[in-house]
Amino acid sequence: MKARERPYPPGSYDVVVVGSGPGGLQTAYYLARSGIRRFAVLSRDDEPGGMFRRFPVFQRLISWTKPQAPVERGSREYEWYDHNSLLGEEPDHRSLMPSFMDRSFDVPAREEMEAALRAFVERTALQIRYDCTLARARRDEHELVLETSDGEYRCRVAVFALGVTEAWLPPLPGIDHARHYVDTGRPSDYDGKRVIIIGKRNSGFELAQGLLPWAKQLTLISPRPVQTAVLALSALRVRYLQPYDEYVRGGSGTYVLDAAIERIERLEGGFRVHVEGTTWTGKLELDGDEVIVATGFRTPLEPLAELEIATVADGRIPAQTPFWESISAPGVYFAGNATQGSSGMKKHGAAANSTSVNGFRYNARALVQHISAKHFGIDPPRPTLRRDDVVRFLLGELARAPELWIQKGYLARAVRFDSDGIHDDGIVPLAHFVDAAGPNAAAAAVEVDADGKIVPVLYVRRDGHVDEHPLAPHPLHAFDNAEQEAELASRLQPLLG
Amino acid sequence: MATETRTVVETLAQLTLFADLTRPQLEEVAHTVGEELFAEGQRVLRQGMQGGGLFLILDGEAEVVIDGDKRARLGRGEFFGEIAALTGDAPTADVVAMTLLRCLTVSGPELEQFLLDHPPVMLRMLKAEARRVRSANA
């Protein structure tokens, strides 16, 4: 690699971003347009791309990008059809993913995704200090201090986009004998072998399906029954469900067991896994040539130990406020996949799409606006809305806003009714709108109800009290018809006067 | 955080609600339920708003607030939100975290099936509801 000028030398900054995967890049992109002057972007890698430089093991992503769509590529509406491109303010920065796809599938391959992210960095001229590894973060009075392989960075605010791809191993006796998903290696290594996979979520089934042409026997084990409804929402549903399908049909050689793992025993030339049934009674000993643990991933929080980051999910994910700030460490924010640690309202159990690019790209944009306003007094533009336009504006958002449709029940379009007029308050976390005090305002969200139906919902905050008004759904999801317009207008009447 | 040295399974094993479950069943439950951590002052359950679920306190304290009036404090092992989740109505109270609050969660749409799948948990919950009715009538 040719020698290049390394930006962002150690020193004092307003904001430091750590990470050059999609979460870090999207955050850096909006920081560069935020008005915050002194910011730095650091990465331990030597190229952008984050997890997509290595994963998924079997190469195919699970989120779609449709090169052809009913709306124009590069438009805001097109973001709904392209779940893998980062967001851009200029046309040249948008919708980069489709042009890198060979179109054998409507979901990109890993290397196509990596190429699109690299192109994003080139076209947007994002500066990143590569080969700069965070060793330790600590607090020094009002500053955060990031000690790196290049020296010390001091900042008021840090954004960690560290990914969620470190191996997480449950505390099971003998687990150290097994290899984790991240160390799967080549499929051909499993030729003619009996393979036991611990885990029955996406990564477990990704491995199982990928190894079907190689292994002579496959057994998937975990305590909980297969969540077929969850797997069915993956763009690779047909492939992921194939090993399960083989088992359900009774074909020998592929098994899907609901069992708790007691221990993993190393034998000469193989392994024995001792299990006890969870949905059936009894114990089994399973012999295999290889054991792969697909029990999930975690954020690498070790360098942040001194900041005492509170976590959920057995220490895997940092717990965050609605604006993605650590709930225990002020000034410490997260971006990218780790933003799943800000769970939002989860109405009827519906989770946000913060674990994938399609969702966390919007989180990153809202995060930068929040940091700019809260820590640096830079308010985002709040365009004035004419009184007569408010209903149509919110209806249009309910019908078409990609932020609302992708981050259902999580991000909302807010409009505030100030004494000096009505203002578009931008895209905000719904939990923040509902729980925080504020002026009279309305927020529009797209949600999934208790029956799984997609519904438009209006929230009205008046004199400090927030009310929820679900609007009528529509079989074609056409949320801007006359019925909804009339209902929305009547619900907004108290604010519009 | 001290609580994180315990696994979810170990935490569940110490709670009355799950006292009748075997270790493999506890593991299955640990893989089924969610876990959320709330900052002090954060709302967990929202009065009058649809879409809640069952919350069981693993660590910390919460306050029940109805129309702005503080009614009760809840602590470790206590649960809330299940009545609204089972009847499909909106909760009749706010529940607000008074400390850092760690909760196990089961969403509304999943709660009924969760209880049917774990009859000993359903019975324990029924007994707890019966005690609440009795003390409310006392």
- Per-position DSSP letters for B104-120, written without gaps between them: EEEEHHHHHHHHHH-HH
CB-CB under 8 Å, B7 with A170: yes
Point out the domain boundary residue: A342, A375, A408: A375
Q: What's the pLDDT at B24?
A: 85
Query: pLDDT exceeding 90 applies to what percent of chain A?
Result: 78
Residue B84 to residue B97: CA distance in whole angstroms: 19
Please report whether residue A2 resides in a domain. no
Q: What is the pLDDT of residues A140-180, one digit of tens each?
A: 999 999 999 999 999 999 999 999 999 888 888 999 989 99
Given a cut of 90, is residue A131 above it in pLDDT? yes
Q: What's the pLDDT at B64?
A: 97
In chain A, which residues have their Cβ closer than 8 Å to the Cβ of B52?
Answer: 347
Point out the domain boundary residue: A274, A295, A316: A295
Given a cut of 70, is residue A2 above it in pLDDT? no
CB-CB under 8 Å, B109 with A327: no
Region A364-377 average pLDDT? 98
Of B1, B35, B51, the CB nearest to A348: B51
Residue A87 to residue A93: CA distance in whole angstroms: 7
Region A172-197 average pLDDT? 92
Residue A67 to residue A62: CA distance in whole angstroms: 16
CB-CB under 8 Å, A222 with B31: yes
Please report whether residue A5 resides in a domain. no
Please report whether residue A277 resides in a domain. yes
CA atoms lying within 13 Å on the CB side of residue A407? 32
pLDDT-derived band at B1 (thresholds 50, 70, 90) equals very low
CB-CB under 8 Å, B88 with A347: no
Least confident of A360-369, A426-435, B8-17: B8-17
Q: What is the pLDDT of residues A310-351, one digit of tens each?
A: 999 888 999 999 999 999 999 999 999 999 999 999 999 888
Chain A interface, best mutation among B5, B21, B32, B50, by max A CB count within 10 A:
B50
Nearest to A480 by CA among A407, A350, A391, A367: A391
| A181 and A241 belong to one structural domain | yes
| A177 and A252 belong to one structural domain | yes
In chain A, which residues have their Cβ closer than 8 Å to the Cβ of B25?
Answer: 278
In chain A, which residues have their Cβ closer than 8 Å to the Cβ of B38?
Answer: 327
- Quote the domain boundaries for residue A184: 169-295
Residue A204 to residue A293: CA distance in whole angstroms: 8
To the nearest whole Å, the CA of B47 is away from the closest chain A CA by 10
What average pLDDT is seen over chain A?
93
Residue type, B59: D
Q: What token pair was written down for B128?
A: 């707890």
Give the SS3 label for residue B54.
Answer: strand
Give the SS3 label for residue A217.
Answer: strand
| A18 and A51 belong to one structural domain | yes
ipTM of the shown complex: 0.91
Q: What's the pLDDT at A411?
A: 98
DSSP A333: E
Torsion angle of C-alpha atoms B59, A262, A318, A44, degrees rounded to 10? 160
Residue A342 to residue A323: CA distance in whole angstroms: 8
Residue A168 to residue A182: CA distance in whole angstroms: 10
Q: Which residue has the tokens 């850096």?
A: A28
Interface of A with B (CB under 8 A): 170-171, 222-224, 258-260, 276-279, 308, 310-315, 319, 321, 327-328, 343, 345-349, 409, 434-435, 447, 449-450, 452, 467-468, 470
CB-CB under 8 Å, B51 with A345: yes
Please report whether residue A6 resides in a domain. no
- Give me the CATH number covering residue A270: 3.50.50.60
Please report whether residue A3 resides in a domain. no
| A401 and A475 belong to one structural domain | yes
Please report whether residue A4 resides in a domain. no
Q: What angle do CA B103, B94, A409 make, to 5 degrees?
A: 70
pLDDT-derived band at A56 (thresholds 50, 70, 90) equals confident
Given a cut of 90, is residue A392 above it in pLDDT? yes
Q: What's the pLDDT at B2?
A: 34
| A110 and A63 belong to one structural domain | yes
DSSP A229: H
In chain A, which residues have their Cβ closer than 8 Å to the Cβ of B7?
Answer: 170-171, 314
| A155 and A15 belong to one structural domain | yes
Please report whether residue A234 resides in a domain. yes
> Distance of CA A8 to CAs A26, A136, A154, A361, B109, Å?
18, 18, 12, 24, 49
| A161 and A106 belong to one structural domain | yes
Of B24, B46, B105, the CB nearest to A434: B46
Given a cut of 70, is residue A307 above it in pLDDT? yes
Of A278, A345, A435, the CB nearest to B24: A278
Residue A42 to residue A158: CA distance in whole angstroms: 11
| A366 and A283 belong to one structural domain | no
pLDDT-derived band at A235 (thresholds 50, 70, 90) equals low
| A16 and A158 belong to one structural domain | yes
Q: What token pair was written down for A237?
A: 């549903």
Cβ-based neighbours of A486, under 8 Å, separated by 6 or more: none
Q: What is the pLDDT of residues A287-298, one digit of tens each?
A: 999 999 998 899
CB-CB under 8 Å, B37 with A223: no
Point out the domain boundary residue: A279, A295, A311: A295
DSSP B91: P
pLDDT-derived band at A10 (thresholds 50, 70, 90) equals very high
Of A319, A349, A468, the CB nearest to B107: A349
| A248 and A161 belong to one structural domain | no
Q: What's the pLDDT at B48?
A: 93
Of B8, B37, B110, the CB nearest to A327: B37
Please report whether residue A359 resides in a domain. yes
* The most confident of A228-232, A328-332, A474-478, by mean pLDDT: A328-332
In chain B, which residues have their Cβ closer than 8 Å to the Cβ of A327?
Answer: 37-39, 42, 100
| A390 and A371 belong to one structural domain | no
* The most confident of A96-105, A244-253, B2-11, by mean pLDDT: A96-105
Region B72-96 average pLDDT? 95
| A360 and A399 belong to one structural domain | no
Residue A472 to residue A486: CA distance in whole angstroms: 11
In chain B, which residues have their Cβ closer than 8 Å to the Cβ of A222?
Answer: 31
pLDDT-derived band at A234 (thresholds 50, 70, 90) equals low
To the nearest whole Å, the CA of B43 is away from the closest chain A CA by 7
Given a cut of 50, is residue B41 above it in pLDDT? yes
pLDDT-derived band at A367 (thresholds 50, 70, 90) equals very high
Of B4, B28, B107, the CB nearest to A346: B107
Cα nearest neighbour of A341 on chain B: B36
Question: For chain A, what is the domain count?
Answer: 3
Question: Per the omega criterion (within 30 degrees of 0), is the bond before A439 cis?
Answer: no
Given a cut of 50, is residue A214 above it in pLDDT? yes
Cα nearest neighbour of B23 on chain A: A260
Chain A interface, best mutation among B27, B44, B105, by max A CB count within 10 A:
B27
- Determine the CATH number of domain B2-137: 2.60.120.10
